[in-house]
């Protein structure tokens, strides 16, 4: 309780009004112009990043298309080899079945 009674209230610092409102407006406009310039720069960088992402995504899509075509060709080769292997297996089975003991 004694701490509450002895507390000292410290006022917030106040701004002293500038003598020239036109100078204050000029500074505010300069800060706004700087912020807009930074914003434009950030938007340009963002758009460049989106364009780069678009190109990279298109390249990835093309690469995946080539990969899929390669897998399709590999599948056809495996199917053909499987057919040849089964033919050879049947031939070997027939040869073994008719071979003299």
Read off the pLDDT of residues 37-86 as tens digits, 9 standing for 90 and up: 999 999 999 999 999 999 999 999 999 999 999 999 999 999 999 999 99
DSSP for the chain, written as a single string: -HHHHT--PPPPP-PPPPS-HHHHHHHHHHHHHHHHHHHHHHHHHHHHHHHHHHHHHHHHHHHHHHHHHHHHHHHHHHHHHHHHHHHHHHHHHHHHHHS--
Q: Pick the more confident residue, 93 or 15.
A: 93
Share of the chain above pLDDT 90, in %: 70
pTM of the model: 0.54
Task: Specify the residue for token string 């300069």.
Answer: 30
**3 has a pLDDT exceeding 70:** no
């Amino acid at each position: 309780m004694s701490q509450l009674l002895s507390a000292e209230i410290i006022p917030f610092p106040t701004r002293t009004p500038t003598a020239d409102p036109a100078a204050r407006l000029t500074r505010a406009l300069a800060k706004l112009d700087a912020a807009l310039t930074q914003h434009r720069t950030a938007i340009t960088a963002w758009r460049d990043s989106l364009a780069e992402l678009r190109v990279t995504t298109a390249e990835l899509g093309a690469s995946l298309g080539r990969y899929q075509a390669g897998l399709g060709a590999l599948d056809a080769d495996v199917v053909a080899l499987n057919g040849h292997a089964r033919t050879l297996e049947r031939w070997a089975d027939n040869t073994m079945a008719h071979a003299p003991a």
